Structure 1
Amino acid sequence: MVTRYAVITDAAIELVAEHGMRGLTHRAVDARAALPAGTTSAYYRTRKALIEALVQRLADLDAADLEAGGLPDDDVPAYPRSLPLTETDLDGIAAATGALLDRWLTDGRTRALARYACVLEATHHPELRDILGHGAASRVQARAMLAAAGAADPDRAGDHFVACVDGLLFDRLAGAGALTAPPPGTAASRADLTKAVRALLRAMAV
């Protein structure tokens, strides 16, 4: 069953993706969600509370995506790990990551745009950064993976890997990469993203 929280925050995500943070108002959310006037303000009295709920929704949805299609926990051993991952292991991780990025460029494009808008908003509201810190989970996974791959400094390598992958997504979403890369949602896009991620893994697992 879809909750009122999901209805309100999903409408807020759509508004932010289309119009930026300035387009986010209680009245606009009510209209987008086809709710009676005043509903959103009854649940979230202030704009700050509404933004916090939106950011939490983004964190929840991203966490679900990572669990379903990111770096699978049963394939990536707990950190630290003494036995190395094989080339085949790393190829599989690159393919899974490439597929996830492609999904965020297609079905998840609206959410990705809203996420970047919220990241910028967090520079003025540090409390939002704590919620957006859900990205810490992906860093833990990346550190474990690179430790198992034999990286000399897996903590820094893991952080660098996540930052580079995030930059790759941003480039395809809003940068020059959107003009030169294969169209999102195609086999060519997934292959190209996988190739880029595999190159990152190869460079950092040293």
Structure 2
Amino acid sequence: MPTTRTASPTTTDAPLSPRRRQLLDAGLHVVADEGLRGLTHRAVDRRAGLPQGSCSAYLRTRKALVSALTEYVAGTLAADVDALAVDLQQCDGAAERAIELTLRLFQRWVDERELLLAKLELSLEASRDPDLAALLAAWRARLVDVVDGIMAARDTEHSTERAEALVSSFDGILFAALLKPARGRAAFLARSLELLMRSLAGPGDA
């Protein structure tokens, strides 16, 4: 199992106890390996190496478990995006550096594929569950704001609609990369991101 992240765990930035974090990290890996149907309290306990009943002591119902996991995944992604935004602001419009930093993050997400797979599973479930959709919408709005802010800082033509289109493109690139053979993923990400980030930088910065 990959090392547990230390990023902000929830969309509300509330701190997690070590045990709760352990359970949610185990839940993330269960969903990545078995899909959302495989997410049960017992499966989480087994994956975490904890006694049966540990997960239900913290998250009594399956809905509570799924909701907490959605917050955990969205919060981890949001913290990564916030960190990237800080780094991008220091690029001073240098497109090559912006591509390099974004590629580094996306490559890590693809290498640690459990996070992206869990997000995909939860996103599908959110299409049928308004409560989950609201949790994921909060993270997506945060990412759209970051992208829009970067374009504004560079005096690039920007709008919420354009930022949303770019975010959707990022999503598509990431999931397409997961379907590529492992040896071709880095090259695919680099080519795709260069095209998008050139557009983000604007013609004057390309």
TM-superposed CA distance for 1:18, in Å, is 0.4
Aligned: 1:167 with 2:186: no
Task: Specify the alignment match of 1:157 in structure 2.
Answer: 162
Q: Distance in 2 between matches of 1:201 and 1:149?
A: 12
- Other-structure match for 1:75: 89
User: Residue 65 in 1 paired to residue 69 in 2?
Assistant: no
Alignment of 1:42-53 (within 5 A): 42-53=57-68
Q: Is the 8 A contact 1:13 1:54 kept in 2?
A: yes
Letter in 2 for 1:99: R
Report the equivalent of 1:81: none
User: What amino acid maps onto 2:44 in structure 1?
Assistant: V
1:75-114 alignment runs, 5 A limit: 75=89, 86=93, 88=94, 90-106=95-111, 108-114=112-118
Q: TM-score, normalised by structure 2?
A: 0.80
SS in 2 for 1:29: helix
Amino acid in structure 1 at the alignment position of 2:108: R
Give unpaired runs (5+ residues) of structure 2. 1-15
Question: Where does residue 115 of structure 1 map in the other structure?
Answer: 119
Q: Distance in 1 between matches of 2:88 and 2:29?
A: 34
Q: RMSD across aligned C-alpha pairs, in angstroms?
A: 2.4
Structure 1: gaps of 5 or more residues: 78-84
Overall identity of the aligned pairs, in %: 34
- Are 2:32 and 1:17 aligned? yes
**Deviation of the 1:59 alpha carbon:** 1.8
Q: Distance in 1 between matches of 2:88 and 2:172?
A: 26
* Cα 1:67–1:131 shift into 2, 3 Å: same
1:26 alignment partner, one of 41, 45, 59: 41
